[in-house]
Structure 1
Amino acid sequence: MVITYGRSGSTLLQTAMNGLDNVCIRGENYLAAAPLYESWRRIIAAQNDHGEKYSMPGQPWYGASQLDSEQFGKDLVAAFIRNVLRPEPHTEWIGFKEIRYNNMGNNFEGFIDFAFKYFPNLRVIFNLRDWDSVCSSGWFSKQDPKDVRSMLSKMEERFARSAARYPGQSMTVRYEEMIANPGEYKNVADFLNVPFDAHRIATILEKKLTH
């Protein structure tokens, strides 16, 4: 997963990563994975709150004791990978980038724990960008910079806490560094343990994005 916020240069990172051997990083999907976590979380709450108290057919939480949150989590993620990410033949790494995590509020870290629990062999790349550049880019340029900076501060704090909890399975990159030195993408390739072709990546980065 490439996890970031809007106007961070994540589409460029996505594009370059798709130039790595056997790597397929899909684009945004309106954070369709978030409801997976929410549904799983509710099943656990139902089981914990009512599983032991209601076991008869005429009771309001009948069946709560039989809920299988573990299998439910696995099945939710399997369906997401199969129907949303849709791995292509010979794909070694399948993933997506998303910018809408600011809408999750305090549920973000719970989602990250869910993702690392159920997405197989998960690796997360947190993508950051200079705040002034974000504030002056795209739709953010029409918003109060104080509000944008507040959002960015909260998101980067959450990113940092999650990266600290999963140090071997996550990495953090900065847009400015990736632009200044295409060789920085080798760190991404090494993170995924895939070959790095500097010429191929440089050729990809020369093409101007259309959005």
Structure 2
Amino acid sequence: MSLTASLIPPAVRRRLEARDARVRADGVRHGIELMRARRDRQRYRYVFVVTYGRSGSTLVQGLLNALPRVLVRGENDLYLLHLYRALAAVRAFRERHGEHGSRNVTSAFYGLKAIRRSAFMQAMNDIVTTSVIGNLDPADFDVLGFKEVVWHRIEPEETAAFFDTMDKAFPGVRYVLNTRDPGQALGSGFWQKADADEARALIARVVEIQDHLRTTRPDRVLDVAYEVITGDDTAARDRSLRGLGEFVTGAPVDDALLARLQTVLDVGYGPFPFARAESDAEEPVEA
């Protein structure tokens, strides 16, 4: 006890020590609450663009980023699929060996049953959230996501389980199903080095996945057709733009926001915007 503390009457000292303990405890509780809030899987809403190469997905990405409080990043090689497969592998391993003394410290599988699926869900959400936000202010956004063109890598037999996992990792997740006539998409530089039959099969696989999402989550998908948003029918185009904005933000698109979305259509997105020839492209960017 310090000399100063020894001069304080015992009753007063006990009250001060009790108050100090309460302050410390409150601080710890507050810190825990902040940590939980930062990792709450429902803190943000999530939207992912499901499509194939040269479908106009980079343009759709631009439209999404023109919406208020929405941040949608570009392609990332669908790293979520690797995380899902890690979870699927450990669950299968646990089913095979979980009863082999996994609660016994002498077992080769000690602790196997302690691996929780929820930890994988949280990790998937944390990785997407932090990588999408990057060095931006998290308070500036309500909706996060990315667009991707390699959804064909999801095998048919794992499709349902993969998207069920997505539902748990990203509660209420929504999908923008970006489409374009496959014949037009196949004629672009993205596919020209690929075998024609293989390219058609990959696009067909994405179409299968889009159909799966339409069937299983009809209230959480929206179709956006490249031909409509870039076509000459302005009424159809504007209906599609308004529908996209309301689907993602949950609020009607007023005339000012519609005008903002319309200006996005005047910007070149992707490797060869406005149907430029490959030789005219200056800065190839994956579309």
Q: Structure 1 length as normaliser, TM-score?
A: 0.90
Instruction: Provide the C-alpha distance between the structure 2 equivalents of 1:74 and 1:157, rounded to a whole number of angstroms.
Output: 25
Query: Which AA in structure 1 matches 2:251?
Result: V
Match of 1:109 in 2: 160
Deviation at 1:191, TM superposition (A): 1.2
SS in structure 2 at match of 1:49: helix
Match of 2:22 in 1: none
Query: Is the radius of gyration larger for structure 1 or structure 2?
Result: 2
Deviation at 1:65, TM superposition (A): 2.0
Contact 2:121 / 2:165 at 8 angstroms: preserved in 1? no
Deviation at 1:185, TM superposition (A): 1.4
SS in structure 2 at match of 1:126: strand
Identity of matched residues, %: 27
Contact 1:182 / 1:198 at 8 angstroms: preserved in 2? no
Deviation at 1:154, TM superposition (A): 2.1
Point out where structure 1 has 5 or more consecutive residues left out of the alignment.
none
Deviation at 1:57, TM superposition (A): 2.4
Query: Which AA in structure 2 matches 1:105?
Result: E
Aligned residues: 210
Deviation at 1:195, TM superposition (A): 4.2
Alpha-carbon RMSD: 1.8
Matches within 5 A, 1:40-79: 40-55=87-102, 56-70=104-118, 72-79=119-126
Match of 2:68 in 1: 21
Q: What CA deviation, in whole Å up to 9, does each residue of 1:15-34 have, x standing for no partner?
A: 01111111111111111211
Contact 2:98 / 2:113 at 8 angstroms: preserved in 1? yes
Match of 1:177 in 2: 228
Query: Which AA in structure 2 matches 1:81?
Result: V
Change (3 A) 1:82 1:152: closer
Match of 1:118 in 2: 169
Instruction: Provide the C-alpha distance between the structure 1 equivalents of 2:269 and 2:202, rounded to a whole number of angstroms.
Output: 26
Match of 2:147 in 1: 97
Match of 2:206 in 1: 155
Contact 2:55 / 2:226 at 8 angstroms: preserved in 1? yes
Q: What CA deviation, in whole Å up to 9, does each residue of 1:167-200 have, x standing for no partner?
A: 1112222211121243111111121213422111
Deviation at 1:75, TM superposition (A): 2.1
Instruction: Provide the C-alpha distance between the structure 2 equivalents of 1:151 and 1:97, rounded to a whole number of angstroms.
Output: 17
Change (3 A) 1:210 1:114: closer
